[in-house]
Structure 1
């Protein structure tokens, strides 16, 4: 981290030309709400919105009356479908000056995302509806991320000649196994409770109870001396009060191969573990010869999907996930800003956005280079050059009670389902020698009987352990190759 230049500065201010109504702010006792208000644009984030949210978040940090921050999207379709990339692509066509404007937008967006990731007060994101790209940045780094039956999560950046940004280097690389790699390279969508089981969301609620939840959160009373952790624990238990029974993760029509569990999950880890796109494609070709018809169809479809993506984006995305495992939360946004600046200068971004989002009807993008073999290591190296101190992203000056600016694991991970590493630790302890039930009971107890924990532990045990006498043992890594 010491080699990454870090600069802090003042919070941005709203500009006269900004739309006065694209974000709505409200107060309900101790709750402060942010409502993204561009429903016709699926609440896509733009500079005007970011310039409103940033200073308001800083203002609330200083207020003793603001206990909980809650962000949501207007309308029935989306929380936030991403950044307004069509506007950015049009700017880029203006040349270096337009590219600089686009790069500045990403700097503003990443300032906001970093502030959320290190925020000094409880922050709740309602991921009700489409949550992609920029919407992920506004939610995924928060301690509380609520998915509903309407949630549609994706990081679709490689489809438009970009890379999975907004902190994707950090959160995708820390998901279980190779889930993050799979989502980054394929832009696969997760529906509803699938986002919860994958670790994207911390809670799953039916959308019909969201208004009641807001009211309930507004009634919470915190002791003046309560720590952030204590406040978050109370919020966590309050959200859990509204959790009803969870739907099956494979109950969605758009999940023909199942989703991120069982044999499909094993195949994802098996094929996406490699450090080159060519090796991943070779593994998928081998998987396509599988005797399991479902897995063979999945592998064939996944090969076709990857073939449609920008070759440059694929190479950059894979490398960012591998390197991002070692980045701190602050380093992540500084390095990603450098990546974004480079992509604004690359032809694939304008081509991808134009083909997919601007052209009517949509056209097939013509990537440059068009083949993986034509994207060299030196080409990719250019994206990962360390920014100079003068060019490094300027972050918002942190509040005295902000989270550690250099954490390498989410400090609030306990509010989500246990990770496979958490479950592995219990299996490798004395509980594993006592058998499956002992492991499940122990993890469920550690996670305060959170809905979904038992189901996840059962799935992980079935996939990652073997019978060992009267107990169970964690399979070695080689056993799943």
Structure 2
């Protein structure tokens, strides 16, 4: 097949997607779940569901995607800023309970949601204009997906970053398989398996954020960014650097994991999750005991999927990682642990999930490999 035919097919598919999204959005009544504004020569996206910590729903994802596409082509728009409303959260993740209910009912939302979300993540990763995520507050799951793949991520002392998906029978998706293995040493694997929470300046020190700026300085920072005239990425970087240099809060405190980094690199170096657990139990230190205890509460299937996802993702492009993660998302929708995890953590809140299989040893390589299998015509395409 010629490149011309392939390009035409790709354009047609993109056009059909845009038309489908526009049709869906015209039929929805929600107007304010995401605010899309033009300020000077900047496009500003504000996720606006503060009561649910700005959790992403399908409409928000579709609106943001469409607007990003428009601004990318617009000669009057030089950069994009994305933030969350309410002061508590940037975005705490996707609207998991809605997805769970849909999947239980056999509704296609569970297919469509992950598909559209990952397409948005890929769009952000390939965005041609400076994209600045102000991750001021809770940033988890889907909130990581709309920030971490952008060129600039600004953390504040209020930032709380985590990928806690293994606790609900899922895996660190939204491109976690791409960015986690690219953090220093085994840090990404540690964060992905345990769901460990990083806060404030530590989000920058870990390499998740590109900058740290005190929360009170954010309004001035946004104002300066909005007023930039035809900025390059270097111009944006200079502004962010200058605000970071003015932010000394907590600078004297060491990185929360500093004294454990060599332990993490040693203990999480193994060819299997079982091997990691053996390392932790044999080590005997308080830190190792704590991590072993944390992992023992997670879905064994999720732990094994996550381990393989991050191993594979280290050598893949973001778009290839997202194709892999879409397969994994649909495997989780077909499985048991995701529904049980959501029940235990978010619905009944008894924090006592009954995983099936219940041990790492019972999760065979065959079970894991099946999760990575092609979906054929239903595979994610860009």
Q: 1: distance between equivalents of 2:253 and 2:336?
A: 40
Native 8 Å contact 1:92 1:350 kept in 2: no
Q: 1: distance between equivalents of 2:163 and 2:29?
A: 27
SS across alignment from 1:76: coil
Alignment length, in residue pairs? 365
Alignment of 1:206-285 (within 5 A): 206-222=214-230, 231-243=232-244, 244-248=246-250, 251=253, 259-262=256-259, 264-285=260-281
Q: 1: distance between equivalents of 2:141 and 2:370?
A: 23
Matched, 1:352 2:353: no
Cα deviation code 1:363-418 (max 9, x no counterpart)? 41111111111100000000111332x122132xxxxxxxxxxxxxxxxxxxxxxx
Q: 2: distance between equivalents of 1:371 and 1:91?
A: 28
Matched, 1:386 2:382: no
Cα distance, 1:166–1:286 mapped onto 2, change above 3 Å: same
Alignment of 1:78-227 (within 5 A): 78-94=89-105, 97-98=106-107, 100-222=108-230
Cα deviation code 1:394-444 (max 9, x no counterpart)? 32xxxxxxxxxxxxxxxxxxxxxxxxxxxxxxxxxxxxxxxxxxxxxxxxx
Q: What residue ranges of structure 1 are gaps of 5+ in the alignment?
A: 1-5, 224-230, 253-257, 289-295, 396-481
Alpha-carbon offset, residue 362 of structure 1:
2.9
Cα deviation code 1:236-257 (max 9, x no counterpart)? 00111212244447849xxxxx
Native 8 Å contact 1:335 1:387 kept in 2: no
Q: 1: distance between equivalents of 2:163 and 2:248?
A: 24
Q: 2: distance between equivalents of 1:283 and 1:251?
A: 29
The answer for the alignment partner of 2:293 in structure 1 is 304
SS across alignment from 1:87: helix
Alpha-carbon offset, residue 339 of structure 1:
0.7
Q: 2: distance between equivalents of 1:178 and 1:131?
A: 21
Cα distance, 1:18–1:307 mapped onto 2, change above 3 Å: farther
The answer for the alignment partner of 1:325 in structure 2 is 314
SS across alignment from 1:242: helix
Alpha-carbon offset, residue 353 of structure 1:
0.7
Alpha-carbon offset, residue 259 of structure 1:
2.2
SS across alignment from 2:28: coil
Q: Taking structure 2 as the reference length, what is the TM-score of the superposition?
A: 0.92
Q: 1: distance between equivalents of 2:286 and 2:252?
A: 17
CA RMSD of aligned residues (A): 1.6
Q: 2: distance between equivalents of 1:199 and 1:246?
A: 18
Cα deviation code 1:165-186 (max 9, x no counterpart)? 0000000011110000000000
Alpha-carbon offset, residue 283 of structure 1:
0.8
Alpha-carbon offset, residue 275 of structure 1:
2.3
Q: 2: distance between equivalents of 1:82 and 1:311?
A: 22
The answer for the alignment partner of 1:457 in structure 2 is none
Alpha-carbon offset, residue 271 of structure 1:
0.6
Alpha-carbon offset, residue 17 of structure 1:
2.1
Native 8 Å contact 2:212 2:247 kept in 1: no
Q: Taking structure 1 as the reference length, what is the TM-score of the superposition?
A: 0.74
Aligned counterpart for 1:364 among listed residues 333, 352, 358: 352
Q: What residue ranges of structure 2 are gaps of 5+ in the alignment?
A: 1-8
Q: Determine which structure has more spread, i.e. the larger CA radius of gyration.
A: 1
User: Which structure is richer in relative contact order (CA contacts within 8 A, separation 6 or more)?
Assistant: 1
Matched, 1:377 2:365: yes
